Structure 1
Amino acid sequence: MTFRVGVNVEDLERDLRDAVDGEVRFDAGTLGAYSTDGSNYRQVPLGVVVPRTPDAAAAAVRVCAGHRAPVLSRGGGTSLAGECTNTAVVLDWTKYCHAIEHVDVARRTCLVQPGVVLDVLNDHLAPTGLRFGPEPSTHPNCTIGGMLGNNSCGATAQTYGKTVDNIRRLEVVTYRGDRFWLGPTDSDEYPDLRWDAVMAAGGRRAEVYRELKDLADDYADRIREGFPHIPRRVSGYNLDSLLPEHGFHLAKAVVGSEGTCLTILRAELELAPAPKATSLVLLGYPDSAAAADAVPAILPYQPFKLEGVDQRLVDLEKTRGMHKRAMAELPDGGAWLFVSLPGEDDDDARAKAHAMAADLQRGDGSGGRAGAGGPSVHLVDDADHAAALWQVREGGLGATARPGGPAETRPDCWPGWEDSAVAPDRLGDYIRDLRGLLQRHGYQEVSLYGHFGQGCLHCRIPFDLVTAAGLETFRAFMHDAAELVVGYGGSLSGEHGDGQARGPLLETMFGPELVEAMRRFRRIWDPDGLMNPGKVVDARPLTADLRLGTEWAPADPQDLYFRYPDDDGSFQRAVLRCVGVGKCHAPDSQGRVMCPSYRATREEEHATRGRSRLLFEVLDGHADSTVSGGWRSTDVLEALDLCLACKGCRSDCPMHVDMATYKAEFLAHHYAGRLRPAAHYSMGWLPVWARLAALAPGAVNALAHTPGLDGVLKAAGGVDARRTLPRFARTRFTTWFRRLDRRGRLPRGDGSRGEVLLWPDTFTNHLGPWIGAAAVEVLEAAGFTVRIPDQELCCGLTWISTGQLGIAKKVLHRTAAALAPWTAAGTPVVGLEPSCTAVFRADAADLFPRDRDVERLRAQTKTLGELVLERAPDWDPPRLQRAAIVQMHCHQHAVLDEHADVELLRRAGVSAQVLDSGCCGLAGNFGFEAGHYDVSMRCAEDGLLPALRAASTDTVVVADGFSCRTQIDQSGELPGQGDGRRPVHVAQLLATALRHSGRPVEHTRGR
């Protein structure tokens, strides 16, 4: 029998499987993936339950109580104070329990299950003109259950208040299995919740009511005196909601209790009108303290949001290439206030913005501080620009967690004191004193930003969490910071809760009497103390259960293929990039590519975050790690199996985790000296097979498409039986080009813009030579002289994606050396296949970070759109008045300039709609591999295929990637496809414009 924390785990797992309608997981990989949240803490769970219904979750709690097993109810898993990690049975609501059960527009309420994501809810509510008000920066992926557990706020709390201010009722279950609704006890709207009705009904709920009433009576005066009257008090339990003047509202009392009292099964939320229009005003000040001083002067204008950003944060985002266009909008200053003003329409909002700006510039704009000057002002009228600027603010956590540069000089920064809050009119002075405290403890260059309109300050601090001296400094700073904020009448936490990071400091804020009241409050709900134990009240020590800590001794592999130049050459540091923000957990793409496998499966292990956690665990830095085997780990292999290597996380993750690279590295070591899957030999070696097929393409195509025989070939090559093997062209692009070049039949144009080297990647050369021909036509027309390499070369993509990195490095090094005469001369290299082009722009430099041939190749490789916009900005292609939808290749989104192609199409008169659909799901070899077909098609159904079904028959579908075009072709969803319509490359559409033919380039060209 296996025992943990006194629990017979095997019996617990068996009973959960018998009683719960859901997925019960006690495997090593799952435990590793759920072992930490977004905080500094790590605790391996007992197991994970994914309930299909709230009833199933209640059943799981009852089983756990029978075994005296702790329970942790988990939302989006992004918590920063350690409240979402515990040695407990974790309830994950996100996969199934996300229904919006009812919306009552007249009453302005909705009834939801805990796993619904905030943005999904508000998108659903949008037609009603209502919304759930609070909006944390994790709004694309945070759940309502998590917001209730944490009492979340966000920027819009300026208008709507905290989560606790937007709750009507909660259906809950206690650890001992009592299930009932909580809400206001003095409202005729909910007669069954009134005090007299509950007392008449009797039972456990009546006992809870009486015990809480006694608690409120005993501590009423102390609660009134000891709870700070500021907008952002999130620390401690909401004992103030028990006071008679606050209606003895028991639902509000348990909001923010971080799962330590009970489990929430359903929530009735209070909705509010969404603003009809907003305007954005940017105000520049010398520093963040001066910006904070100005807040009281701005509050009378009733801003919808009022956020502060400092120069340090902006510089960090600039260094990482984030939000470049938005940064240009910032006015002069060393810190900025982002002020959003609501209006009845755009004109009204704009008028309010102008009025406020004029008033501030006439006055001193400082809120009365002597000697301060007025702010610099910039009014943002364009909605897209405003949205981009808000991303600057929301990108704060990612930018400040990993400042960039060597760890010795710019160490990673961590949460701990990341959301303290004071009264808004005291924020400026608090910032000054906090800066002094940080410097006294040796923490330099800390960015201070946040919800300035409500006095809430965000920061991440370069704590040393791995040495004894560093932990002692960390502990001392936390105690001193608690004393400081309490001296300002503030709160330890203004948004992220207490958990284990600030739970031990609650007596500093509230005193021993009120902490004892909170302890009593918790015991009333959970006498056994097994709901998320060790958090908030009676929390475990600040430096216990650290994800790092003094005993953390991970392996850091040295025999690496990729060199990880941005991570000090360390795979360990690369894996630590993930800080748990969970942006990869968004249930739809919302303009992002990552993480298609998570959106298809809703599994933690299939998200970038879950895979990062497992790679962290496999480094074997903890004695209790459940994931073993190092590079040979089957748990990590299974988690990585559904990674599409789309590279979306490289750009979309705020920490720029590059899971495609980590997957390739892992596969290289996992299969070293071992037999690989068949797909690695068939598709991984595609360039070789394509060259052999070029000897007799007709015969190869006949064999590959003969009924019966094609199934044998697919089975032997590890290809899914439902896929159709691509056909090889009768004539390769390079053969066509050289043949016509020798005969002098290539169009030359005037050559005024110099030579370009057109890269004949394997897909274009062997499977789509007509695309190469179209590109030659376009480039010549734009004034370039086109050349191609004079020998057979390859970028190594297919070997990289299958983790055959030894071969990939040899192939890539040979190519960079062969192209050196061209790149040394400054000749641009034009790539047509985005995935191959991205190898030159990204993977090559990661494999050879100090190779000058590779560096020149990286710098001079361009897409067709990039080249024309940079080198021929005045070229005006013939007009082609067509509508097009564009499926952007993942690697183009992640590595290349995804806007260049669209701009080029616009110049040709094409009205291009870029699909907000994420990955097509094929992703090179992924969608062809046996066992991946279903996930591949679910990814395609995430947005691509529905968009194709809705497209009119005269709409052109543009897809530069071979994978994207193949997925579209094989789906059969393109309207009019039976009439020979196919998705086209941007080069084909531009060539069509040149010919004025009104149809794409002939597909037979080059065959």
Structure 2
Amino acid sequence: MITSAGVDVRGLADALADEVDGEVRFDDGTRAAYATDASNYRQVPIAVVVPRSVEAGVRALEVCRRYATPVLSRGGGTSLAGECCNEAVVIDWSKHCDAFVSLDVDARTCVVEPGIPLDTLNALLAPHHLQFGPKPATHSHCTLGGMIGNDSCGSTAQAYGKTSDNVRRLEIVTYDGTRCWVGPTTDAEYERILSEGGARARLYERMRAIADEYGEEIRARFPDIPRLVSGYHLDALLPERGFDVARALVGSESTLVTVLHAELQLVPVPAAKAFIVLGFPSIEDAAAASPTIARHDPLSIEGLDSILIENEKRKRENTKALHLLPPGDAWLVVEMPGSSREEADARSQRLLAELESFDPKPAAKIFDDPVQEQEMLDVREAGLGSTAWVPGQRDTWEGWEDAAVPPDRLADYLRDFGALLEEFELQPASRYGHFGQGCVHCRIPFDLQSEQGIDHYRAFIERAAHLVASYDGSLSGEHGDGQSRGALLPIMFGDRVVEAFRELKAVFDPSDLMNPGKVVVAAGGRFDVPLGPTEHLRLGADYRPKVDVQLHFSYPDDEGRFDRAALRCVGVGNCRSHTGGVMCPSYRATGEEEQSTRGRARLLFEMVNGEAKDGPIQDGWRSTEVRDALDLCLSCKGCLSDCPVDVDMATYKAEFLAHHYDGRVRPAAHYSMGWLPLWARLTHVAPGLPGLVNRLGRARGARLAKRLGGVEPDRPLPQFQAERFTDWFAKHPSPAAAPHGEVVLWPDTFTDNFHPHVARAAVTVLENAGYRVVVPIEALCCGLTLVSTGQLASAKRVLARTAHALAPYLVSGTPLVALEPSCLAVFRSDGPELLPADPDIALLRDRARTLAELLLDTPDWEPPLVASAAVVQPHCHQHAVLGFAADETLMKKAGIRAEAVEGCCGLAGNFGFEAGHLDVSVSVAEHDLLPAVRSASPDALVLADGFSCRTQLEHLGEGRTAQHLAEVLAAAIEGASAISPDTSPESRPTVRPRVPRRVVDRALETYPPRTP
């Protein structure tokens, strides 16, 4: 097979597999996952190589050179300009090449490999009170190699400069194999390099010749602004700049060299910070004040406009922080450092005193609460996600999102830029960004799906480029040129300087094989011009998504269209983080792009566009590549809450499985676990049968039976209890008085059959609160296991029957309490989206509540005093759909000092029981939950309302028993002053089977935890 680039794919694949210590991927699923970044562009790669070491990466480059194959080095893949997708072999350094090599505390320098994430690096530096200064909004998952390739900045570049200002030296390798360390070069060192001869000497000699030949044009045409990111940093090669080769290569977007190691300059972590938020009548007024503020040396000056804030309100993001904003129609968020809180506050007061005479005088608030300070930062960092897929507004896209001008001219530029947007009828478009350095971010409602719209886009960006050039600005102030702006560089720099860029490209990559077509092309190379801003569009005039089935879910936020849902991911990559929130547990375990929410979204996009785009996935809903990518999705719904654009991969997975297996035999696990409520009912048809089933589940032939049922052989099965909750409740006498009336207690399958003690405890609490508990007589089900296995036609029938049966209870206003968060999430989210026109489903959605929500709204009732520390594992669906605030408030009122665990437990309903999932399940648990439980005090409670979370701890928790909040409250009500977390109440199960230790060790060796 020969590609359009003339590459012998079969020979290349064999050579890479034989010679490279790494994961060599030519499969269609991987290629689909890497076909785009966070930009408007799409190019399917030839292959992806994930080297296990830096040396393996060098070896991959050698093989590619032998086969004359284009190469693209990639970090976090969050490029907004298209520099991270190409028809090339993509080398992904982020999975394995992430070592923190060395640290010199006295010199404040460190050496790292290119794949290390910024937050991981700063966590390792924190004990030494040091940090890497630039901090992009993607700091949780962007890599240092990507930051170097892009010359990343972020808000703190106000104080610390761009990445290029903080790189001391780089170890690089060129396409032809020249490998060396580069950095500032004295005349003596330059002469020494030339005297040694060889390829390195030729590189240096030719770079010096470019600096000499084009020096005057470089001095004249390079804007003197803090956010010059466009073009190559040829000014660093001027003699007055120290002939700094490392700095010249930073920001070259994988078009010149591959970075193997970086020596970084570090800065001290500020001892204290104060946050000032200033409100102005307009965004132009805010911009005009920024130079005055900059003279006070803050860490950051971030501008926000009212459109951004309104978008966050519409999307219900950062709601607490939005209420804290001072009056205004635009705002500046200023971080002021100090050696102490007092000094930071004093510096803030001096700034405010100077602004007293500013016209217009801003409204001001100073924040001392670290929680509120972080909330204000979150408002700004949510900018990209908050300006995309806003309900009720036109779709917005990148394409002109980060131009920069001199800060003292920013206000005038914003006026002119706003007028240009209006002229092209491209409003509303939020304008926000790093105002202290004149950098403006903006997602714009371009039409990228028609010839006319694309022509309109091209005309706009050309006009915008001329506007920025007239202000002596930079086309890119943060995100690089890539494909978005490469062809526009002559407008900013002039033809002569662009020719110097092409000469530099020819020095390092004369054959145009390093990220070809991006930024510039080599002088005398195989291309005449770089790729234009309207080529290889992810959408384009040929965008023809194909969804040829009747959908099950209604997709209310996507116009009822699955293709819009598949397009929703903007590539910001929050799902690739390893800290905070829940998303995405499978990526946190595996480090695989294809196992991230973003990677799966990419495959779904390719699935519905494969035929039109001649993509790698051509078989639509029957795609095995999509099925395999979704197989390790835990359906945790963490992305629904943590993704800035509300991707709901659990829903997409269920929809896909429904159509993938339509009319076909399903996997055995879909019958064994998808039909669990049915099997549970059959298990109780005769006395003694539950015990027999439990014994059979532990018998010698149980492993074979599990395999036949698609169940993981090394995972213990849940133990059926001899007496179900519903059987117990049928004999339970109702209280004589119930001042608050009736409440329906939902007897979900898991609680009823496996953990009936939880429901019995809930009855105690509810009756103590003044309610008469009602339990449905009928055998009802929420359909959760059917939804998670994609048996959606059956799920809709079950849900409709359940809602109809419950309606007589609920129609008069009686609330329903569900103890299992995943079942309640079905009532609140999945059910209404599966049956949007069913009034009984709507009634159930409105009446269904958590135990904590009901108790907090119960008049004249206070929880019993528990007075204990607790490690709390919120269920993922609770985090994503229900919210955890009510539980936190109730626990606080009960004297429970709760420390909530972030992250998924790893069992996630049927996921952790399915064959082939145990290793990932264990690794996910080891990421957050198990370390939190181990570090907890022996007398601390372990709380988990989810059956899956409690079961995972039962199997992996080394003897610690998790309890439902209802159990803890019931025990306190019944008079236990202290509750031992390791002593089970009489009604709790006595059998505590565990996953074998050898299996746990194997899992952690396969997928070692990736926490910083």
Q: What TM-score does the superposition give when structure 2 sets the normalisation length?
A: 0.95
Structure 2 gaps of 5+ residues are: 521-528, 990-1012
Distance in 2 between the 1:480 and 1:987 partners? 63
Q: What is the rounded CA distance, in whole Å, between the counterparts of 2:548 and 2:347 in structure 1? A: 58
For residue 883 of structure 1, report the CA deviation from its aligned partner: 1.3
Distance (Å, rounded) in 2 between the aligned partners of 1:645 and 1:392? 28
1:104 counterpart residue number: 104
**Per the alignment, do residues 114 and 685 of structure 1 end up closer, same or farther by CA in structure 2, a change over 3 Å counting?**
same
Give the corresponding residue for 2:425. Answer: 442
SS at match of 2:24: strand
**d(CA) in 2 for partners of 1:645 and 1:36?**
24
Amino acid in the other structure paired with 1:809? K
Contact 2:576 2:587 in 1 (8 A): yes
Q: Paired residue for 1:369?
A: none
Deviation track 1:171-215 (CA, whole Å, cap 9, x = no partner) reads 11111111111111129xxx9xx2122122221111111111111
Secondary structure of the equivalent of 2:332?
strand
Residue 679 of structure 1 is matched in structure 2 by: 669
Q: Does 1:380 align with 2:371?
A: no
SS in 2 for 1:684: coil
What CA distance in whole angstroms lies between the structure 2 residues aligned with 1:786 and 1:675? Answer: 42
1:465 partnered with 2:460: no
Q: What amino acid does structure 2 have at the position aligned with 1:815?
A: T
- Alpha carbons 1:232, 1:455 under 8 Å: kept: yes
1:614 aligns with 2:603: yes
Partner of 2:504: 521
TM-superposed CA distance for 1:882, in Å, is: 1.3
Contact 2:930 2:957 survives alignment (8 Å): no
Aligned partners of 2:70 and 2:515 also within 8 Å: yes
> What's the counterpart of residue 151 of structure 2?
151
Q: Deviations over 1:422-449 (max 9, x none)?
A: 1111111111111110111111111110
Please give the per-residue CA displacement for 1:279-320, whole angstroms capped at 9, x wherever unaligned.
111111112111111112211221111101111111111111
- State which of 704, 710, 714 in structure 2 corresponds to 1:718: 710
Could you tell me how far 1:114 is from its partner in structure 2?
A: 0.5
Q: How far apart, in 2, do the equivalents of 1:202 and 1:638 lie?
A: 52
CA distance in 2, matches of 1:464, 1:991: 59
Separation in 2, partners of 1:354, 1:852: 57
Contact persistence 1:845–1:855 (CA under 8 A): yes
1:999 equivalent in structure 2? 979
For 2:1010, the equivalent position in structure 1 comes to none
- Structure 1 residues 624, 131: CA separation in 2 closer, same or farther (over 3 Å shift)? same
8 Å contact from structure 1 (residues 704, 725) kept in 2: no
- Quick one: structure 1 residues 702 and 876, their matched pair in 2 at CA, closer, same or farther if it must change by over 3 Å? closer
The answer for the alignment partner of 1:341 in structure 2 is 336
Cα distance in 1, alignment partners of residues 376 and 463 from structure 2: 35
Q: Is the 8 A contact 1:108 1:271 kept in 2?
A: yes
Identity of aligned residues (%): 54
Structure 2 distance, partners of 1:738, 1:598, is 45
Deviation at 1:264, TM superposition (A): 0.6
TM-score (norm 1): 0.95
Task: Look up the SS of the partner of 2:171 in the other structure.
Answer: strand
Q: Does 1:868 align with 2:855?
A: yes
SS of corresponding position for 1:231: coil
The answer for the alignment partner of 1:816 in structure 2 is 803
Distance 1:47 1:333 in 2: 51
Shift of 1:999: 2.6
* Alpha-carbon distance in 2 for matches of 1:863, 1:662: 26
1:702 to 1:789, Cα distance in 2 relative to 1, 3 A: closer
Deviates more, 1:728-737 or 1:593-602: 728-737
Corresponding residue of 1:179: 179
Give the stretch that moved more between structures: 446-455 or 772-781: 772-781
Please report how far the alpha carbon of residue 1002 of structure 1 lies from its aligned counterpart in structure 2 after TM superposition: 5.7
Aligned-partner residue type, residue 999 of structure 1: I
1:600 maps onto 2:597 in alignment: no
The corresponding residue for 2:357 is 363
Higher mean displacement: 619-628 or 497-506? 619-628
Does 2:557 align with 1:578? no
1:730 is paired with a residue whose SS is: coil
Aligned to 1:927: 912
Q: Which amino acid aligns with 1:926?
A: F
Aligned partner of 1:38 in structure 2 is 38
Q: Which moved more, 1:287-296 or 1:851-860?
A: 851-860
Match of 2:535 among 532, 544, 549: 544
Matched residue type, 1:933: L
Cα shift at 1:591: 2.3
Secondary structure of 1:103's match? strand
1:988 maps to what in 2? Answer: 967
Give the Cα–Cα distance (whole angstroms) in 2 for the partners of residues 989 and 1006 of structure 1. 13
Determine the C-alpha separation between the residues in 2 that align with 1:632 and 1:677. Answer: 14
Matched ranges for 1:945-984 at <5 A? 945-973=930-958, 977=959, 982-984=961-963
For structure 1, list consecutive stretches of 5 or more residues without a partner in the other structure: 365-371
Cα contact 2:672–2:710 (8 A) shared by 1? yes
Instruction: Please tell me the residue identity of whatever aligns with 2:880.
Output: A
8 A contact 1:12–1:63 mirrored in 2: yes
- Aligned pair in 2 of structure 1 residues 62, 1006: CA closer, same or farther (>3 Å)? closer
The whole-number CA distance in structure 1 between the counterparts of 2:368 and 2:637 is 34
> Aligned partners of 1:228, 1:567: CA distance in 2, in Å?
43
2:487 to 496, 504, 509: 504
The superposition leaves residues 332-377 of structure 1 with CA deviations (integer Å, 9 ceiling, x where unpaired) of: 11111001100112222223223322432x212xxxxxxx421111
1:429 to 402, 412, 435: 412
Distance in 1 of aligned mates of 2:804 and 2:307: 41
1:26 CA displacement: 0.5
For residue 621 of structure 1, report the CA deviation from its aligned partner. 5.0
| Structure 1 contact 908–993 (Cα < 8 Å) conserved | no
- Maintained 8 Å contact 2:555/2:565: yes
Residues 124 and 1006 of structure 1: CA distance in aligned 2, closer, same or farther (over 3 Å): closer
Q: Distance in 2 between matches of 1:403 and 1:965?
A: 37
Q: Distance in 2 between matches of 1:324 and 1:825?
A: 33
Whether 1:730 aligns to 2:695 is no
d(CA) in 2 for partners of 1:48, 1:996 = 62
- Could you tell me how far apart the structure 1 residues matched to 2:664 and 2:549 are? 20
**Equivalent position SS for 1:337:** strand
**1:906 matched residue in structure 2:** 892
Letter in 1 for 2:119: D
For 2:544 and 2:797, locate their aligned partners in 1 and report how far apart those are by CA, in whole Å.
Answer: 34
Match of 2:660 among 670, 689, 693: 670
Letter paired with 2:588 = R
How far off its partner does 1:403 sit? 1.5
Once residues 957 and 540 of structure 2 are traced to their aligned partners in structure 1, the CA distance between those partners, rounded to angstroms, is 54
Q: 1:203 corresponds to which letter in structure 2?
A: G
Distance in structure 1 (CA, Å) of the matches to 2:490 and 2:2 = 38
Q: CA deviation at 1:57?
A: 1.0
**Whole-Å Cα distance in 1 between the matches of residues 857 and 133 of structure 2?**
44
Matched length: 975
Partner of 1:800: 787
State the 1:972 CA deviation.
4.1
